[in-house]
Structure 1
């Protein structure tokens, strides 16, 4: 049985790793075949509402056979549908204007093209992994005439035996009229170029946008916020704690009668309950384990993006993220399983399964819901059934076993509780306190400063994803990630100190949720961005936007909540291990 499980796991890993293979080496001999892939078509303002290129009544070229083809898991999940154009293009071989097909505009085809032109449809193609965009047609200034572009002129730049530049010029517009024949033609010109292969994607980047002074200023502003906040937290806590330590040391010198008559208050009074296990420990430890997992994946993917320029390959970012997520599953099991064991949990298998499938189930649930809408719309974003099976196999045969390994290691290595204070058998009553010291108020206020530290970066990330700008400044992202971590930890420590000083020992969930509330503000900001910064419309695009923004916010919340809890836990253990407790 174990041999069969191992065999299935190895096969799944092998299949999963091979999806990263490229379709060719990007080198050509003279007259060698160059493939023009037709990808998707859709409305310009709804970038995620894409359809198969040939869902419009375009015609194919006469060529039917090609020498290579590839499709990765990341491409399938992103709705990339590459279909051969049928146009014959050979390396360094000029093609003069050549008609490759004709389309007779029946009533149905006329209405399809008319709808596409009215809604500003555009399409995407690929040559040697270089994206090319074109417009289906245009409307004349009066708004009465609708025209379609019928000629594609390709200017391809080459450097030695590699393609380094592709430009498309749409020409020969024809007015849409029922019952006419439209001839489609193409032309290919090859030009030597001094562009190096490693820099051929630079033309698609937008340094004026991403490296604008506002971007640099936001990073500097966030960095100054970190310095100020860390200094403020250190000053307040050190001065306050010094007074607390002095007061508690004086209390230790008093006899029992004097201590009983004294006015005791503050965080020391809950030392017997502060290390009490959090309520709903299975869910809590699963969230913390998932948070560790997301932090690990984020750091790895950002590092790979900085080193490897993942934006140059279709779907490579998503494929890398899935691979890293599966490979780092033991982190989830180790952190969640160890924490659950320290809390005295007995149902560790339930916790392990919950931790392994918490994030994947949420992602798959939202994705499959949106997938039904995509299928209804016949959109290319619909995930194929085979891809669903592949993702399910990765979760069952890769993520779950690796999480099990991590859980066993976590229980064995870090599963023993070593709290500095003994936990009382009976919980201490929580005294009444002012409204602004209630946990729900602390939770809502805790995410404001962390959100402020990443507010500007959110705009650039949203614009890169929803407006199809290529995000390439991953050094900025790494710096913002570190700033967010520091600000989150500082804020949650302050919140927890005030909570404990009010003799409320429910700090575990409060520290997690106060940091996770950053995601709430990010999701609220996504509403502003949708209504005021985009021109998106329609059910499909709206559900796609808010569905995946909810997933993004949820993942950010779990990550920030984990950072807040880990920092606060270290702080709590430190202060209670310093004070002498009778």
Structure 2
């Protein structure tokens, strides 16, 4: 009985260590989205889901809709697999409409008239370097960042809520209210449809180019159905002009127009290789989550001491029984 107890305790210890190490390294692990790939035809809807907000400064994740972003009329948590639950994902539907191989330009997601508290929420998120996480076809969104002193670019997960810039007048916070959504796809012949030569489309890449644009339009009020923007249109894509950034904390106008583009790019990357860009990412701007690592090691230490005490008590009773002549 004592041997069985000791083996059970060691098994618990191994499980605890595995969970703790997995928690410490959760930033570098990815759940498998499934064995069978999702295939699409042209103009099929490709759902874009929003996820959590994370920061390397605060270590505290938040729900995407904790910031005053555009919300659909009906939104809620989607069903999650075990990997998503363990990584703390909060996957919800969004207002962004994607159709396979259908590019769009200057689509209006929504118009928000921000209150002071909502502006302050964006300012705090920008100061704390929070990143937004989205998903398309179980692929997390990323951005390409330039590496100082190199012509290469590094792929990092998530895109920033905004960015800051210091001037003689003080610190400015700019909100990324325009997003160029770039989805890479791969066509191949599977021979399963009515036409065996008809290619099927698989999504193999997903990234965003965030921009800050102080949109302008004619008239005092903005009507999403009839008002035309002068800063971008369906025939004139938006440009990232530093002279027209949206200063979220110092702008007297509280109206923010959230817009987006959708670009579909054909890729030679196979579906089986689409996760390589995430696994091979070595962005220099990423910081180590020392708080999470320290917390995991403290849990390991506590569990080890607790199990050691239980084992010592069990062994002491067994030794006392063996030494008892009666």
TM range (shorter): 0.5 to 0.7
Deviation per CA, 1:329-382: give whole Å up to 9, x if none: xxxxxxxxxxxxxxxxxxxxxxxxxxxxxxxxxxxxxxxxxxxxxxxxxxxxxx
- 1:88 aligned residue (85, 97, 114): 97
Match of 2:165 in 1: 140
- Contact 1:23–1:69 under 8 Å retained in 2: no
Q: Is the alpha carbon distance of 1:207 and 1:553 closer, same or farther for their aligned partners in structure 2, counting shifts above 3 Å?
A: farther
Please state how far the C-alpha of 1:179 moved relative to its aligned partner.
5.0
Partner of 1:58: 69
The whole-number CA distance in structure 1 between the counterparts of 2:38 and 2:106 is 26
**Structure-2 residue corresponding to 1:14:** none
Q: Aligned ranges for residues 155-304 of structure 1 at < 5 Å?
A: 155-160=182-187, 161-171=201-211, 172=213, 173-176=245-248, 177=251, 179-206=253-280
Q: Distance in 1 between matches of 2:89 and 2:289?
A: 23
Shift of 1:200: 0.8
CA distance in 2, matches of 1:39, 1:207: 20
Shift of 1:178: 5.3
Answer yes or no: is the 8 Å Cα contact 2:139–2:206 preserved in 1.
yes
Secondary structure of the corresponding residue to residue 203 of structure 1: helix
Q: Which structure has the larger Rg over C-alpha atoms? A: 1
SS in 2 for 1:79: coil
Q: Distance in 2 between matches of 1:557 and 1:35?
A: 48
**Counterpart Cα distance in 1 of 2:256 and 2:173:** 14
Q: In the alignment, does 2:290 pair up with 1:551? A: no
Q: 1:21 to 1:105 in 2, by over 3 A?
A: closer
CA distance in 1, matches of 2:57, 2:210: 20
Structure 1 distance, partners of 2:299, 2:79, is 29
1:503-532: CA deviations, max 9, x gaps? xxxxxxxxxxxxxxxxxxxxxxxxxxxxxx
TM-score by length of 2: 0.57
CA distance in structure 2 between the aligned counterparts of 1:108 and 1:101, rounded to whole angstroms: 19
1:107 is aligned, of 113, 116, 128, to: 116
Structure 1 residues 551 and 111 mapped into 2: Cα distance closer, same or farther (>3 Å)?
Answer: same
CA distance in 2, matches of 1:555, 1:24: 39
SS at match of 2:109: strand
With over 3 angstroms needed to count, the CA separation of the structure-2 counterparts of 1:25 and 1:203, relative to structure 1, is closer
Aligned mate of 1:71, from 80, 85, 95: 80
Q: 1:558 to 1:200 in 2, by over 3 A?
A: farther
Q: Is the 8 A contact 2:52 2:133 kept in 1?
A: yes
Partners of 1:81 and 1:550 lie apart in 2 by: 27
Deviation at 1:169, TM superposition (A): 0.2
Determine the structure 1 residue equivalent to 2:42: 30
- SS of equivalent residue, structure 1 residue 90: coil
TM-score (norm 1): 0.33
Q: CA deviation at 1:550?
A: 2.3
Shift of 1:135: 0.5
The alignment status of 1:150 with 2:177, answered yes or no, reads: yes
- Aligned ranges for residues 120-519 of structure 1 at < 5 Å? 120-132=129-141, 133-142=158-167, 143-160=170-187, 161-171=201-211, 172=213, 173-176=245-248, 177=251, 179-206=253-280
Aligned to 1:365: none
Higher helix share: 1
Spell out, residue by residue over 1:58-115, the C-alpha distance to the aligned partner (whole angstroms, 9 max, x if none). Answer: 11257x589x953123322331000111211111111121111011121111111111
SS in 1 for 2:177: strand
Q: CA deviation at 1:44?
A: 3.2
Retained in 2: the 8 A contact 1:107–1:179?
no
Deviation at 1:21, TM superposition (A): 8.7
2:236 aligned residue: none
In structure 2, the CA distance between the partners of 1:76 and 1:178, relative to structure 1 (3 Å rule), is: farther
Question: Paired residues, what number?
Answer: 213
Following the alignment from structure 1 to structure 2, what is the Cα–Cα distance between the partners of residues 181 and 24?
Answer: 44
Q: Which has the higher contact order (CA 8 A, sep 6+)?
A: 2
8 Å Cα contact 2:75/2:94 also seen in 1: no
1:57 and 1:102 map into 2 onto residues whose CA distance is 11
Asked if 2 retains the 8 angstrom alpha-carbon contact of 1:61 and 1:101, the reply is no
Instruction: Mark the CA change 1:193 to 1:44 in structure 2 (over 3 Å): closer, same or farther.
Output: same
Give distance in 2, aligned partners of 1:56 and 1:207: 28
Deviation at 1:206, TM superposition (A): 2.9
Q: In structure 2, how many angstroms separate the alpha carbons of the residues matched to 1:130 and 1:124?
A: 10
Instruction: Give, in whole Å, the separation in 2 of the partners of 1:165 and 1:204.
Output: 10
SS at match of 1:114: helix
